Amino acid sequence: MKKEYYLNYVKQSSLIGSETYDEAIVKWKEQFDADFMFGYTSPGNISNQIHLESIEYRISKDRKKAESIRYYLLQPMELCSIFPEEVRKQRIEYKRGVPLMEPLFQLHAYINGYTEILESGVLSNEDISVIKETIIRSIIPLVSCPEWGAHNRSMLRASALAQAYEAVGECEDTKGWIELADYLAEESMGRWSIEDASHYIPLWLFACVMYAKYRNIEDEYYSKPQTKYYFDYITHLICPDGRIPGFGDAWFHSNWQIWMALLEMGATKYKCGKMKKAAELIGLYGDIKANHTISPGIGNYMAYAYKWADDSVEPEALDFGSEEVLDELVGKKIAFRNEGTYFLYNYRDEGYYGYIPRRYLRTSIPVKAEKMHHGHGDENSIVTLVKDGDILLHEGGYRDRLPNGKYRADMYHNKLSFREGLKDKSSSTYDKLHDDGYYKHVDTEKLHFQSFSEIDYLRTRNYYRPFNLVWDRSVTYLKKDEVFIIVDYVKHNQDNELTIVNNIHVEKADLISEGVYETFVDTIKRGQNDTSPYQNKKEYSLLVEFIRNKENCTLETIRRNHGEAAMLSEVVSKSYQKGETEIFVTILTIKKRSEESENIAGRLTVEKVVGDNEAVSLVYKGSDTIYLTSKLDLDHGINEYEEDRAPAYDWESGKINYGTMTTDADFSYLIDGEKKKYGFINGCRVYYNDKEIFATPRYTSRDFLLEFFKEIDHKWRAWSGEVTI
């Protein structure tokens, strides 16, 4: 977007804010609750209006505009008399007085207005004293409870302290503010956030940007690779139409205005046209979400976008293909993209960094329902599926009420859930899954991700701690047919009596046949109490087929994403012995709503299950016949390791006969046409109907134990090609 766009938005929202200002103050008074758990805050429209009009004053230098801002700056001191004195005395951090501006989300805008008109001549010495006292009293609670760690609540404190110190100056009241700000910021500046939530990462990054400005370390901050990572992360995450896919704590396309402003900063600092384009797309979708209405609250961040935007940076198309976003250590997400189709998969766990801050949070505030901090139990989960802007799968929202975010629990995500004990057949699947909602600790890692020309493939592993089991999930995307094939493989490392549920969540669903459902998303709630939800496009539906346990599938109506929703479940409930395994196979097919589901269902079959669930082959008969093989037990074919006798594999011990295909690869495919198109991952050879279609060259290696050379097989990481047979 050009600066003119942001300026026009600021002017329009400023006018709206001015016209509704008094009404908003009256409404605030009517709804005031002295027992609100987060304490006293001034009306939010005050800081918004201050910031918006400060932009107008910056341009016009109109004294009347400065006088208007002065009025807003002084008003919080008058309004605070509404807070009962007896309640104030109960809060030790209010000893000096109530915090006149909410310090994390209001104070930055308040101070912006103050510093903008400081030289205008409209502020008397008494006015300045009142404003400084407002700032000081707003900061004191932060000093009483300086939450720390690499997350938004800590960095917003650091940013507020640094900005407030510059505004107030050095005095007895501000003693220690900068030192505290620096300690709080130390774990975030140029380091990794411990959060995994699309609503909160932009708040954290915004605070980092502001802190760097007020500590005069912008050059250092923007030169750090971790800083640029998060601007790239935002850019690569968004859907083709600009929607920010929700993951972790988030509402529908929430905090888009902050992401937009940040991307303007990123585009300016890194001269990056892709960030510029991402800001534009996010803003356009935000306008749709807001029903094309102008909001002073949104305008507050449009003001930052105006200040940060550089019109000399030309937008560049976001032409990303299927990819990791952005890596397997921090981001831990994978996106499939193809001609308007976008599929986002999250396998992020808590990670093995920031241990003490995570432990501090866990022992200081009620966060048992989340991974640190603001993350959900969504590992190995499908976060978003969208086709041409038509949303087919999305996350479950944040929470309906405090303290815990109800929808954080694993059961509200498109993934497997595990519960101790057997399911009573007379009870609902929801009743079996619904528990205290506390986060189940897991460790995850990527096993494979490969984008071939016709097929994309991923496989991730979830070490599920509570029941000592390992859960691998693979997703194969058949691009031509718009099909996603999901194979879940569970191995039990102890005796367990468990119920395992494979869930897919939508708004509505129709039962087509046993284990087969046509699903729909017509509307999406933007948050709690949304009486006019977002209207989806309604051109496409998603056909969901549970292949392995059709007789054990349920369709139930539950509450999810702040409204009524449909939960599709494939349920297996039994006693498992140590070493026993389980397989689930699910296929998701994108289809036009006008197409008959019966004509599409049944295209995927299980050709062969090898041994004791060691491997599985599938056949998909759509526009082409496609054979897929998956080695589930990755230890198959690995010989007992002896020092200096590598490699610990060979073709003869590793090959698996899947029926149509024979290979030792972890994954392989063959598209059966006049020419056979094939691909594989981590293997030596591929055979089709007993005919070799590919073999890696053998080579000579030294056996250091017996001191001689030998001819051996060597696995290639991946390969694809075509042959005529």
Q: Does 321 map to a domain?
A: no
The span from the CA of 7 to the CA of 54, in Å, is 12
Q: What is the pLDDT of residues 585-609, one digit of tens each?
A: 999 999 999 999 999 999 999 999 9
pLDDT given for residue 642 in this prediction: 67
- 657 and 579, same structural domain? no
Q: Which two tokens stand for residue 75?
A: 């008003």
Banded pLDDT at 644 (limits 50, 70, 90): low
CB 248 within 8 A of CB 196: yes
The span from the CA of 220 to the CA of 202, in Å, is 20
Domain closes at, from 202, 223, 244: 223
Banded pLDDT at 247 (limits 50, 70, 90): very high
pLDDT over 70 percentage in the chain: 99
Banded pLDDT at 556 (limits 50, 70, 90): very high
On the CB side of 171, CA atoms within 13 Å amount to 11
- 232 and 84, same structural domain? no
- 228 and 177, same structural domain? no
Answer whether residue 262 shows pLDDT above 90: yes
Total structural domains in the chain? 5
pLDDT given for residue 244 in this prediction: 97
Q: Which amino acid is at 107?
A: L
Q: What single DSSP character describes residue 189?
A: T
Task: Give the least confident one: 33-37, 235-239, 439-443, 680-684.
Answer: 33-37
pLDDT given for residue 57 in this prediction: 98
Domain closes at, from 145, 175, 201: 145
Q: Which amino acid is at 708?
A: F
Query: Residue 419, class by beta-carbon neighbours within 10 Å (0-12 exposed, 13-18 middle, 19+ buried)?
Result: buried
Query: What is the overall mean pLDDT for the chain?
Result: 95
Task: Report the relative pairing of strands 625-631 and 667-672 from DSSP bridges.
Answer: antiparallel
Q: Which amino acid is at 530?
A: D
Q: What is the pLDDT of residues 468-524, one digit of tens each?
A: 999 999 999 999 999 999 999 999 999 999 999 999 999 999 999 999 999 999 999
Q: Does 80 map to a domain?
A: yes
Q: What is the pLDDT of residues 444-456, one digit of tens each?
A: 999 999 999 999 9
pLDDT given for residue 645 in this prediction: 65
- 501 and 528, same structural domain? yes
pTM, to two decimals: 0.96
Answer whether residue 8 shows pLDDT above 90: yes
Residues 366-373, mean pLDDT to the nearest whole number:
90
Query: Which stretches of 341-449 are DSSP H helices?
Result: 355-364, 429-433
- 578 and 506, same structural domain? yes
pLDDT given for residue 495 in this prediction: 97
- 415 and 469, same structural domain? yes
Query: Which stretches of 468-523 are DSSP H helices?
Result: none
Angle, to 10 degrees, between the axis of helix 107-117 and the axis of helix 152-168? 20
If residue 283 lies in a helix (H) or strand (E), which one and from where to where? helix 273-289
**Residue 523 region by backbone torsions, left for phi larger than 0, else alpha for psi between -120 and 50, else beta:** beta
Q: What is the pLDDT of residues 334-361, one digit of tens each?
A: 999 999 999 999 999 999 899 999 999 9
The span from the CA of 376 to the CA of 407, in Å, is 8
Q: What is the pLDDT of residues 303-314, one digit of tens each?
A: 999 999 999 999
Q: Does 324 map to a domain?
A: no
Cα angle: 358, vertex 363, 364; to 5 degrees: 95
CB 341 within 8 A of CB 347: no
Quote the domain boundaries for residue 713: 603-725
Q: Does 700 map to a domain?
A: yes
Q: What is the pLDDT of residues 106-146, one digit of tens each?
A: 999 999 999 999 999 999 999 999 999 999 999 999 999 99
- 373 and 290, same structural domain? no
Answer whether residue 436 shows pLDDT above 90: no
Cα angle: 550, vertex 551, 554; to 5 degrees: 85
Terminal CA-CA length for the chain:
54
Residues, the chain: 725
Q: Does 327 map to a domain?
A: no
- 366 and 485, same structural domain? yes
Radius of gyration of the chain (CA): 29
Catalogue the E-assigned strands of 32-116: none
Task: Give the least confident one: 13-27, 167-181, 393-407.
Answer: 393-407
Q: Which two tokens stand for residue 654?
A: 């590793």
Banded pLDDT at 466 (limits 50, 70, 90): very high
Q: Does 325 map to a domain?
A: no
Banded pLDDT at 648 (limits 50, 70, 90): confident
Residues 373-382, mean pLDDT to the nearest whole number:
96
- 294 and 274, same structural domain? yes
What are the residues facing 591 on neighbouring strands? 541
If residue 497 lies in a helix (H) or strand (E), which one and from where to where? strand 496-506
Instruction: With CA atoms as reference, report the closest residue to 478 among 390, 596, 590.
Output: 590
Domain closes at, from 567, 598, 629: 598
Residues 261-277, mean pLDDT to the nearest whole number:
98
Q: What is the pLDDT of residues 313-324, one digit of tens each?
A: 999 999 999 999
The span from the CA of 103 to the CA of 160, in Å, is 7
Place of tokens 């019109």: 311
Q: Does 634 map to a domain?
A: yes
Maximum distance among all alpha carbons in the chain? 92
Phi, psi of 723 (to 5 degrees): -140, 160
- 267 and 233, same structural domain? yes
Answer whether residue 211 shows pLDDT above 80: yes
- 208 and 184, same structural domain? yes
pLDDT given for residue 643 in this prediction: 66
Q: DSSP labels for 352-383?
A: SS-HHHHHHHHHHS--TTSBTTTB-S-TTEEE
Burial 519-554 (b: 16+ CB within 10 A, else e): bbbebbbbbeebeebbebeeebbbbbbbbbbeebbe
- 345 and 287, same structural domain? no
Cis bond upstream, residue 403 (ω within 30) = yes
The span from the CA of 645 to the CA of 643, in Å, is 5
Q: Does 482 map to a domain?
A: yes
What are the residues facing 565 on neighbouring strands? 558
Task: Give the least confident one: 141-150, 273-282, 444-453, 457-466.
Answer: 141-150
